[in-house]
Structures are given as C-alpha cells and as structure tokens.
C-alpha cells in the first residue's frame, strides 16, 4: 500500500505492506533508529513519537494510519550541537543510564510539558506512566522532566 | 466494504486491537479505519424528554474528552473516568467508542455507561446501556454495527473509584456511583465477565445514603473473574470497598 506522511518536516511517500507498524517504517525504511522498540506488548513507551502533535506509541500504530500525518521523532527535536531543552535537562539531571528508554521518555515529556499547565512531581509521575525505565529508578527522570519543562516554558516565553 | 470482506473489523484508535494483532490474539482479514469520519467526532449538549445529556462522538479520543470544557463543567466524572485509562500515549489515541465496542471486562468506560444511564447510538438504532453489555467481549452490537455516539445523562452528582492494576492501568475493579432525581445508579467494571449494575447496592443507597448502609449488603462472587491478579472473592470484596469510598467521596461534595 502507498502511504504518505511528513517526518521531521520532510515529506515521504512509501510503499509498505498493510500490516507494517509505524515504528518499523521509521527505523527500517527511513533509518531513524533513535526511536526504539523495547517490548512486544505496547507497554514500554520506548517507541513514543509525536503524531499530529500527540505523543503516541509508534509500535501500536499502523504506518497506513499515519496517512497525511505529521510525525516528529527524537531526531527532529534537536541536534547534537543544539539540544532541545528537554534533551539538555535529561543530560544535566542524569535522567538516564543506559539510554535505551530515553528517546521515548523525552518525546513523552515534551508532550506533557506543552500540554499540562502545572507539572508537579505527581503530574510528572502520572504522565510518564506509559514509559518504563529499567535502570535509573525514576527520581532523576522526574527531576529532568521538571527542569526540561521549566526550560521549555522559559524559552517559549522569550521567543 | 464490510460485507465484501472475509473477516473484517473496524479500527478506531487501535489501542487494543493493534496490540492484540501483534500478539496474534486477533487476526482480522481486513481492517476498516473509521478515524477519518468527522461525523463520529466531537462533544455536544443534547436535551431530550429524559433530561440533559452530553453526547460524545465515538471517535473522540480519551484525552480530548478529559480536556473538554463541556465535560469538565457538566460531567466531570467522565473526565475522571477517561483520565484513569491506560497511560497518556494510550489516552492520546484511544477512543471512547472503541473502548465501549470492545467491552474489555476490565475497561473503565463500561462502568460509566451503566452508572450514567447512557444510550449508545449506532448508525440505525439506540441501545440503552442496561441492554448493551452481554458477556465477555460481547455486546448488543452486531459485527457490522458502527457505534456513532454515546449520550451520557447528566447526574446530580457522581464519582468513580478504581482499584488500578499498576502494570496495565486497567481496573481490577471500578465502581461508578451517580445520583439522579430517580435514585442512585451503581455501575461496576472489572468484577464480572462484563460490566453490570449492582442493584442491591443501589437499593441500599436509595434507602440510606451512607457508607454504613452498604455494610450488610452481600456482594456474591458467583461468576466473577478470577485470575493471577485477583480472586473472585477478592473482587467481590473490592466492589463493596470501592462503593463505600465512592459514597464517602460523594458525601463530601454536597
């Protein structure tokens, strides 16, 4: 089946099998391997991307469902020389150890930061329930999301 | 399109269907994606002879329900229910109609349908919630029915109490209690093969509205779900505990 959507601002038209998951297209067809697959059960959230401005698990969306959609992956958020405030916060707060879950964590955290008015620790913990980490123990992740959200607010306030 | 396919299924948000297909628990021959149908989206106020209702389009996503001004203002309990579903990514994509049509025994919305005297609108008929849930994953919908919208009757007050499975986010048991001019309604999910109304609890509350009024009411566990997470007996116990919490929560709101 033919499917067309934009990924990180660039238009793509691809020919995919109808049962292809969006995450497979991103990783295997487009080489965007920053989006990870950490489970088979749609629980871990490592594959979280933004589809039409919402954080979704790209392992639970068929590629054809993204027709005409606007996809943003971790590669579209910042670059090595110019990190997104949320990426910088995860680095500064040591919100990761192995880093496998981090792309999904960051995409989800950006969704929360842009949508939730008061992002206190409880709201962060509840908001990040769909993302599992098996090494850091979460305290630093919560701190990273809080700092990243504050930095994002400051940046958007300035511009 | 549906009639021409071998074993088709309608696809809404896909938050149950696609994970089920990945696990080979479902293998439809064809998927018909409904998500482009604008007529199945949105939230509006409806007046009928039965009173005021909030009509929620079947394809409305959970997070859009939770953030909707009309819902927050007139039916905050519905925002409470949908905010407790799964996780944020699931609520960003999952839809009200999809959850209801699937009728997972541990889904939250079925308790809300029963508690909030809902009417389910399909392309050609209206089904009261009381007649909708039949058995495990079985509803009054035929395979080719399309769920169009749901009308939730605005109650005097209502609350939802849930004992959440921390891994899945599903309700081990969930109890929604709503008060109408005609009396109390108690919708229960998670306990049995499908959601049901706890009529004995309703009767007790109609006589005396207090947590104590439920002390002597028996909740038999016959036919209740029993699995790795909770026995039938434990679920029956939870029904009463959560109902009491709901009553005390509602008592503080008056």
The CATH number given to whatever domain includes residue B234 is: 3.30.465.10
Contact B19 A112 (CB under 8 A): no
Per the prediction, chain A carries an average pLDDT of 95
Q: What is the mean pLDDT of residues A21-39?
A: 98
Q: CA-CA distance, B239 to B170, in Å (whole number)?
A: 15
| Residue-wise DSSP of B131-159 | GTEEETTEES--TT--EEEEEEEPPSEEE
3-class state of residue B122 by DSSP:
strand
Q: What is the value of pTM for the model shown?
A: 0.95
CA-based nearest residue in chain B for residue A131: B87
- Which of A18, A54, A145 is the best substitution to test chain B (most B C-beta atoms within 10 A)? A54
Assess if residue B33 is contained within a domain. no
Assess if residue B171 is contained within a domain. yes
Q: Do B25 and B17 touch, CB atoms closer than 8 A?
A: no
Q: What is the mean pLDDT of residues B186-197?
A: 97
Q: CA-CA distance, B238 to B137, in Å (whole number)?
A: 22
Same-domain status, A71 and A90: no
For B59-82, the pLDDT digits (tens) are 999 999 999 999 999 999 999 999
At residue B194 the predicted structure's pLDDT band, cuts being 50, 70 and 90, is very high
Same-domain status, A103 and A141: yes
Running DSSP on this structure, what letter comes out for residue A62?
Answer: B
Residue A35: list chain B partners with CB under 8 A.
none
B15, B18, B89: residue with CB nearest A62? B18
**For residue A46, what are the CA distances in angstroms to A42, A43, A96, B61?**
9, 9, 13, 22
Count the helix, strand and coil residues of chain A and give each as a percent rounded to the nearest 5.
40, 15, 40
Assess if residue B200 is contained within a domain. yes
- Supply the range of the domain harboring residue A123: 85-158
Q: Domains in chain B: how many in total?
A: 1
Same-domain status, A71 and A91: no
Q: Nearest C-alpha of chain B: how many angstroms from A141? A: 17
3-class state of residue A55 by DSSP:
strand
Q: How many Cβ contacts (< 8 angstroms) between chains A and B?
A: 64
Q: Does residue A27 have a pLDDT over 60?
A: yes
Contact B88 A62 (CB under 8 A): no
For B86-114, the pLDDT digits (tens) are 999 999 999 999 999 999 999 999 999 99
Same-domain status, A47 and A110: no
Q: Does residue B51 have a pLDDT over 90?
A: no
Contact A45 B92 (CB under 8 A): no
Same-domain status, A68 and A90: no
Q: Do B152 and B118 touch, CB atoms closer than 8 A?
A: yes
Assess if residue B29 is contained within a domain. no
For A90-120, the pLDDT digits (tens) are 999 999 999 999 999 999 999 999 999 889 9
Contact A60 B14 (CB under 8 A): yes
Q: How many residues does chain B have?
A: 254
CA-based nearest residue in chain B for residue A117: B67
3-class state of residue B53 by DSSP:
strand
**For residue A112, what are the CA distances in angstroms to A126, A158, B180?**
10, 20, 36
- Supply the range of the domain harboring residue B231: 8-16+39-252
Same-domain status, A117 and A146: yes
Q: Does residue A159 have a pLDDT over 70?
A: no
Phi, psi of B75 (to 5 degrees): -140, 55
Contact A61 B23 (CB under 8 A): no
Residue B35: list chain A partners with CB under 8 A.
65
Q: Domains in chain A: how many in total?
A: 2
Residue A130: list chain B partners with CB under 8 A.
86-90
Q: CA-CA distance, B196 to A33, in Å (whole number)?
A: 46
Q: Is the ipTM of this complex over 0.85?
A: yes
What's the CATH number where A97 sits?
1.10.150.120
Q: CA-CA distance, B155 to B51, in Å (whole number)?
A: 10
Assess if residue B103 is contained within a domain. yes
Assess if residue B23 is contained within a domain. no
Taking alpha carbons only, the member of B62, B66, B40 closest to residue B149 is B40
Same-domain status, A142 and A98: yes
Same-domain status, A67 and A107: no
3-class state of residue A155 by DSSP:
helix
pLDDT at A87: 98
Q: CA-CA distance, A22 to B156, in Å (whole number)?
A: 44
Residue B85: list chain A partners with CB under 8 A.
none
Is the CB of residue A105 less than 8 Å away from at least one CB of chain B?
no
Same-domain status, A92 and A131: yes
Q: Distance between alpha carbon B55 and the CA centroid of its chain, in Å?
A: 14
pLDDT at B1: 84
Assess if residue B25 is contained within a domain. no
Residue at a domain's end among A51, A76, A101:
A76
Task: Give percent of chain B above pLDDT 70.
Answer: 99
Same-domain status, A96 and A122: yes
Contact B23 A41 (CB under 8 A): yes
CA-based nearest residue in chain B for residue A55: B89
Same-domain status, A114 and A51: no
Contact B87 A55 (CB under 8 A): no
Burial status of residue B206 (CB atoms within 10 A of its CB: 0-12, 13-18, 19 or more)? middle
Running DSSP on this structure, what letter comes out for residue A25?
Answer: I
């Amino acid at each position: 089946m033919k499917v067309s959507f934009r990924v990180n601002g660039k238009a793509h038209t691809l020919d995919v099998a109808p049962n292809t998951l969006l995450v497979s297209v991103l990783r295997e067809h487009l080489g965007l391997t920053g989006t990870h697959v950490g489970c088979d059960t749609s629980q871990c959230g490592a594959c979280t991307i933004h589809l039409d401005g919402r954080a979704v698990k790209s392992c639970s969306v068929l590629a054809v469902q993204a027709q005409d959609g606007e996809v943003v992956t971790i590669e579209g958020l910042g670059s090595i020389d110019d990190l997104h405030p949320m990426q910088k916060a995860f680095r500064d707060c040591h919100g990761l150890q192995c880093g496998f879950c981090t792309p999904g964590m960051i995409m989800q955290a950006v969704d929360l930061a842009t949508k939730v008015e008061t992002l206190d620790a409880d709201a962060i913990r509840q908001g990040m329930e769909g993302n599992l980490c098996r090494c850091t123990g979460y305290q630093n992740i919560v701190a990273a999301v809080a700092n990243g959200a504050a930095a994002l607010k400051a940046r958007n306030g300035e511009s | 399109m549906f009639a021409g396919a071998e074993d088709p299924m309608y696809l809404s948000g896909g938050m149950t269907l696609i994970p089920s297909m990945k696990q080979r628990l479902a293998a439809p021959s064809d998927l018909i994606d409904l998500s482009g149908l604008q007529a199945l989206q949105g939230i509006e106020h409806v007046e009928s002879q039965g009173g005021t209702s909030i009509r929620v389009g079947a394809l409305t996503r959970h997070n859009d329900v939770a953030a909707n001004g009309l819902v927050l203002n007139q039916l905050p309990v519905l925002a409470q229910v949908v905010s407790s579903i799964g996780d944020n990514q699931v609520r960003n994509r999952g839809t009200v109609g999809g959850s209801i049509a699937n009728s997972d025994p541990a889904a939250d919305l079925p308790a809300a349908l029963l508690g909030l005297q809902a009417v389910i609108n399909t392309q050609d008929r209206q089904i009261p919630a009381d007649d909708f849930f039949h058995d495990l994953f079985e509803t009054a919908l035929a395979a080719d029915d399309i769920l169009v919208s749901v009308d939730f009757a605005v109650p005097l007050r209502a609350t939802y109490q849930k004992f959440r499975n921390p891994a899945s986010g599903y309700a081990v048991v969930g109890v929604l209690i709503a008060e109408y001019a005609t009396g109390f309604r108690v919708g229960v999910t998670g306990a049995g093969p499908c959601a049901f109304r706890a009529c004995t609890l309703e009767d007790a509350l109609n006589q005396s509205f207090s947590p104590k009024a439920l002390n002597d009411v028996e909740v038999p566990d016959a036919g209740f779900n029993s699995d790795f997470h909770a026995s039938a007996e434990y679920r029956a116990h939870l029904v009463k505990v959560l109902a009491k919490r709901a009553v005390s929560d509602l008592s503080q709101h008056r």
